[in-house]
Amino acid sequence: MGKPLQDNICESRLFEHLYKKHAKNLHDFLYYKFGEQLNPQDKVQEAFIKLWQNCSKIAPEKAKSYLFTTANNLTLNAVAHQKVVLKHSQKPQKHSTNETPEFVLQEKEYHQKLQNAISNLTEAQRVAFLLNRVEGKRFKEIAELLGISVKAVEKRIYGALKKLRLEIDEL
């Protein structure tokens, strides 16, 4: 059997009365205990939300205790989270790689050669090649985009690949 309506926190008038009666005191309690940086007003709101979500399970005489305990726990959880964030931010970040400086330099040089070789392609070859290799579009999609046949797209891409192999092998 449920609680009588006048003793049920789920009734909006009683809930509103509890809010008006305890919200300021709860805010002050959190502010004095933890300071402003953990945003005590948000914790007060969250505590009242939890009270509303569990209103049928909590007796009105236990509501104040429930609110203060919930808000305190929410704030302690926020403090614990800040400690974890601080701990991980203080860890030194790994900025090294297993690659030798020679390899990194060769990779940069190769990338530059590739960019130069791509820029030396004809516009038609470059567009088809980049649509296929960079954007991952299929020959049929490229043909529709450019308004040409699939065979023409194939010819442009294969021609681009042939030119790129020749230029990069020369270098």
- pLDDT, tens only, 37-47: 888 999 999 99
**Domains within the chain, CATH numbers bracketed:** 5-90 (no CATH), 113-170 (1.10.10.10)
Q: What is the pLDDT of residues 52-105, one digit of tens each?
A: 999 888 888 999 999 999 999 998 898 888 888 888 877 776 666 678 888 888
Judge whether residue 153 has pLDDT over 50: yes
Would you state the pLDDT for residue 71?
92
pLDDT tens digits, 3-47:
444 568 888 899 899 999 999 999 988 888 888 888 899 999 999
- Write out the two tokens for 82: 């800040």
What's the pLDDT at 93?
65
- Predicted confidence at residue 44, as pLDDT, reads 93
Tokens of 85: 């964030």
Q: What would the two tokens of residue 168 be?
A: 């990069």
pLDDT at 164 over 70: yes
